[in-house]
Structure 1
Amino acid sequence: MEMTSALAELVDDFQSLGDTDRTILLLELADELPELPAHLEAAAMEPVPECQSPIFLQVDASDPAAVRLYFSAPREAPTTRGFAAILHQGLDGASAEQIAAVPLDFVDDLRLDSVVSPLRLRGMTGMLTRIKRQVAQQTA
């Protein structure tokens, strides 16, 4: 399994915790999701319909050596924001090649299935799928 070092570190953090602490870490990460830069509007970003909460993302792969990720997620949706924060912290600034190599099932390694419903976890996989697709389209 290939992950960026930042994403692997987050996976290790989640794996080392019990269910309650995994939930707390997810909520703490939700608070760390950066605000959307002023030059981006959520309306122009790609929605992620697999998420139960409204979330939008934008990928900038103009520099394939350092892909930038942007997310818009409401504060009232801390689980979704937490998922976005994991992907942001784990992949923002990574190369297009590194992002393409991340397996979609890395989400299972976070061991969140005991604290988050499968439907919600599908939302995180949906985010990663869209990120990978946008990267591939922009670097083709």
Structure 2
Amino acid sequence: MPPKLADVVDDFAAVSERERLQLLLEFSEGLPELPERYREHPELLEPVPECQSPVFVVTELEDADDATPALDRTVRVFATAPREAPTTRGFAGILVEGLDGLPASELLAVPDDVSDRLGLARAVSPLRLRGMAGMLGRIKRQVRESASA
């Protein structure tokens, strides 16, 4: 697991179940705003229908010289979720913080069970945890498609 994401998982493991919900809310407040190019063109973002709330994600592989293999290029991760959906927004915040800036190969190697590793299974509905897994799945698929293009 990449260090930034492992730190997030460790932060959740270090606190009580009740504090985990508070930590999730802090991540919801920390989700960065979308860059202007996406705020003005929301159709460029992909919806995540597994989420109960309207969540959208998009990734970019940063430009590199032609000698840099696609899987070594840095991935930028962007997401948006409504403020009135703090759980979903928190999951998006965790993924953006933990995945943004990784090389594509490292992002693609992230375990699919990240949502389970946060220790929120008793505090958050399984449907919401599936939503986070859906976000991660879409992010990975976008990176695979960009890397192979």
**TM-score with structure 2 setting the length:** 0.89
2: CA distance, partners of 1:25 / 1:65: 31
Can you give the 5+ residue segments of structure 1 that lack an aligned partner in the other structure? Answer: none
Determine whether 1:21 maps to 2:19: yes
Aligned ranges for residues 108-127 of structure 1 at < 5 Å? 108-127=116-135
Which stretch shifts more, 84-93 or 62-71?
62-71
Helix, strand or coil at the partner of 2:15: coil
1: CA distance, partners of 2:19 / 2:13: 10
2: CA distance, partners of 1:13 / 1:76: 24
Helix, strand or coil at the partner of 2:37: coil
Can you give the 5+ residue segments of structure 2 that lack an aligned partner in the other structure? Answer: 64-71
2: CA distance, partners of 1:42 / 1:83: 20
Counterpart of 2:91 in structure 1: which amino acid? F
Which stretch shifts more, 61-70 or 28-37?
61-70
2: CA distance, partners of 1:72 / 1:103: 22
Q: Is the 8 A contact 1:62 1:138 kept in 2?
A: no
1: CA distance, partners of 2:16 / 2:85: 22
The structure whose Rg is larger is: 2
Correspondence for 2:67: none
2: CA distance, partners of 1:113 / 1:21: 14
1: CA distance, partners of 2:135 / 2:12: 19
Deviations 1:9-28 (A, max 9, x none): 00000011111100000001
Which stretch shifts more, 114-123 or 41-50?
41-50
2: CA distance, partners of 1:67 / 1:15: 27
2: CA distance, partners of 1:107 / 1:120: 9
The count of residues paired between Structure 1 and Structure 2 equals 138
2: CA distance, partners of 1:110 / 1:42: 30
Counterpart of 1:137 in structure 2: which amino acid? E
C-alpha displacement of 1:106:
2.1
Deviations 1:23-71 (A, max 9, x none): 0000011000000111113232100000000000110024443100111
Identical aligned residues as a percent: 54
Correspondence for 1:130: 138
2: CA distance, partners of 1:43 / 1:79: 24
C-alpha displacement of 1:114:
1.2
Determine whether 1:74 maps to 2:72: no
Correspondence for 1:88: 96
Query: Which aligned runs of 4 or more in structure 1 are off by greater than 3 angstroms?
Result: none
